[in-house]
Structure 1
């Protein structure tokens, strides 16, 4: 079975199972509860023998979420037809991923960040030979992490920290010294619960 079909069917079955999902308890900024601003990210799964996910490191100079690891994505503009078009547009702008090289397999669960973004994760499959060109103003580094590793619950650690007089919890995934946390980690956790693949991701 192809990777695209496996992910599509797993997403569909995950919705039937109705797992408990994270609605929005990330700690990923300090701008406060503004918005909500509709946004979309592309969860680009590379079709390798061991599938991987494309992630970006945001420059430390950015106004929002500086220095964090994230999926390519951003706000849904008025001219976008919806989250899929927005995610593809942002991925092309940020990492040079041509939209025609992405096979969309489904929409994952929306996630509300503490900074006021209502994020829709769009899941797509890309070929292993896809050409990427990171935008230097928006992406400091680009890397892939194995899908199986990210979805493994043992790698998804719950952390807590005091913030604005409250204790908040968030997920954190460490991959080869890279700290994936906040909204990105929460969306990965949600995706894993939907897919229910755990050790069987392929």
Structure 2
């Protein structure tokens, strides 16, 4: 079974209440979030990896953070998949034709009220990716097994706007993957475990 087929099987498993819905659990589902999408690009190799970006320090929001390529869904996009592919092309020069789209997975609502749809795609290994100087400081790959290992997914607690906030972080080499990016990886790892 190919990597794409294994991922499709995992995405087909029924939703579980153990998935993380968002940065705050008290969100009213009737309140619409701003639609956004990210690309979880998984490299098709014996030991698959996930392509991530380090955002530049000059951005107004989330400066310096590790993220998936992605952003707001524009009216001219063909839904979340179109937005994720467009953003990945703009941010890291990942050609849309190089992505074998597997599908979308569970949306995640951020503290800034974006409703983010992760798009799962399989890409060839060792693509020549070029970060957009305005947005992306670097592009790197982290082993999928490392990211999906629950032992590496650490739950943290902090105070935010006078309230306790829980979030996940994953530390890999000198990188700190946390917040919505880590939460979406936690959700993906739970889906893959249920499908095993």
TM-score (norm 2): 0.92
The answer for the alignment partner of 1:107 in structure 2 is 104
Q: Which runs of 5+ in 2 are unaligned?
A: 25-30
Whether the 8 Å CA contact 1:39–1:76 is kept in 2: the answer is yes
Which of 46, 59, 63 aligns to 1:62? It is: 59
| Cα separation, 1, equivalents of 2:99 and 2:158 | 37
3-state SS in 2 of match to 1:10: helix
Q: Per-residue CA shift, 1:128-161, capped at 9, x if unaligned?
A: 1422111111100110000000000000000011
5+ residue gaps, structure 1: 27-33
Q: Which runs of 4+ in 1 moved over 4 A?
A: none
Kindly state the Cα deviation for residue 197 of structure 1 after the two structures are TM-superposed: 6.9
> 1:42-65, CA deviations, whole angstroms, 9 ceiling, x for partnerless residues?
000001110000000001110111
Q: 2:139 aligns to what SS in structure 1?
A: strand
Do structure 1's residue 11 and structure 2's residue 8 form an aligned pair?
Answer: no
1:39/1:119 contact within 8 Å kept: yes
> How far apart, in 1, do the equivalents of 2:32 and 2:6 lie?
35
Q: Distance in 1 between matches of 2:187 and 2:9?
A: 16
Aligned length: 190
RMSD of aligned alpha carbons = 1.8
Equivalent-residue separation in structure 2 for 1:197 and 1:18 (angstroms): 9
Measure, in 2, the Cα distance between the counterparts of 1:18 and 1:9.
15
Offset, 1:35: 7.2
CA apart distance, 1:2: 1.1
CA displacement at 1:17 relative to structure 2: 6.3
Whether 2:77 is the aligned partner of 1:73: answer no
Aligned-pair CA distance for 1:16 = 2.7
| Alignment of 1:150 onto 2:153 | no
| Residue from 7, 12, 21 that aligns with 2:19 | 21
